Amino acid sequence: MNRLRIPNVIGAVITAILAGFSALFFVAWIITSEPEESENAALESAGKNPAETQDAEQQSTRDELEKTLAELSTSKERAEKALAIESERRAQLEEAKAKQDQLIQLLQSEKASAEASQENATKSPEPDTLAAGDLDKLKKQNEELRAALGKGKKEIADRKKQLAEAQAKCAEEKKALQQQLRDLRRNLDGAVYGEQLKPAAEFPPLDLPFLVNNPLDLKAPVRPLFIRLREFQGKPDALEKLYSELKEQGIHSARHKVPFGVGSDQASDEETAKIKEMLKSASSKSRFLVVGYASADGSEKDNFELSSRRASNIAELIGSEIKNSEEAVQAVYFGQTDRFSAAEMAPNRIVEIWEVR
């Protein structure tokens, strides 16, 4: 009989919550640091008291952090309660399994006894030579064994049903806890990063493979790269300087640029082959950030969707070639741009493949 296991993620949830407390205290320390002298001078020139302004801002920040801490405390209590429920359920399941094993052993013993009785009956003299009492006794034993076997099978079926229901309930609770964990992480990241990871597009999110609609859902290793790329406002010559700086850090590298035709979201066979060849030299520990762009011809909404589909398609190609793709590959869109060329449209119809080590 297959053993059913119930995953335990509660420990990971509590650990993430405790880490959240540390992150919030760190944010509070940063926010409550003294303002720059230039800001003080600006406030004094506007006729405002810098100390009073700073106190008001710090009080507002403290109120927000205390609210978040209260939410975290409530989530922690829920997680601890869920842990207690799960522990109790696990004990019940272990008890049910022990009873099930006992039933199996009993049935096996009774089955062996029945087979032995049947074998003895076969080797015994013909029925008409047996005493009437012995024949009736054998028939009664056979009926009792069959009844016990049927009862045991029913009990095993009932135990299986109970175990399946308990597993389904635990799966639902795990899903709910994972969603709570994601929400907590978003709140913490929102407090730490603020506007840097705020969604830029005002269009409905697209449900595409590997596409990240909310930057707060980006994995931690690729966030700094995403922020640097999105904040860039310069021209092509300044862009090359930025890429050189990122490359010198030894962490981020633009491995490949995939060109696209007008209105197209499909890479050519030649580019597909280049991508597959590039992945052969990639580190097994690398993460990939796929960034989609579009040229300025067309509406902003159409270019948002086009750049999203381009990034998603390339990310899906990469995901089919590497292991652990759900953790290692994410795609984002930057919509229409002229950062690669202000004079021509074609150079801006691309997808960049960034490797983050």
Average pLDDT of the segment spanning 60-79: 76
Q: What is the pLDDT of residue 264?
A: 96
Residue 128 has pLDDT above 60, yes or no: no
CA 78, 84, 87, 88 torsion: positive or negative? negative
Q: 253: which 2 tokens?
A: 């590298």
Task: Name the most confidently modeled range: 54-63, 216-225, 286-295.
Answer: 286-295
Terminal Cα distance for the chain, rounded: 45
Rg, the chain, Cα only: 33
Q: 249: which 2 tokens?
A: 């850090």
Which phi and psi angles does 226 have, rounded to 5°? -60, -45
CB 336 within 8 A of CB 298: yes
CB 1 within 8 A of CB 100: yes
Short-list 10, 7, 65, 8, CA closest to 32? 65
CB 348 within 8 A of CB 340: yes
Average pLDDT of the segment spanning 40-66: 65
DSSP H stretches of helix in 194-261: 223-231, 236-248
136 pLDDT band (50/70/90 cuts)? Answer: confident
The CA distance from 292 to 354, in Å, is: 11
23 pLDDT band (50/70/90 cuts)? Answer: low
Short-list 41, 65, 63, CA closest to 53? 41
**What are the extents of the domains in the chain?**
10-191, 215-356
Other Cβ atoms closer than 10 A to 159: 17
Q: What is the pLDDT of residues 263-303, one digit of tens each?
A: 999 999 999 999 999 999 888 888 999 999 999 988 999 99
2 pLDDT band (50/70/90 cuts)? Answer: very low
Q: What is the pLDDT of residues 161-184, one digit of tens each?
A: 888 888 888 888 888 887 777 677
Strand order of the β-sheet with 329-336 is 252-259, 350-356, 287-294, 329-336
> What is the third-level CATH fold of 215-356?
60s Ribosomal Protein L30; Chain: A; (3.30.1330)
Residue 36 has pLDDT above 50, yes or no: no
CB 318 within 8 A of CB 288: yes
143 pLDDT band (50/70/90 cuts)? Answer: confident
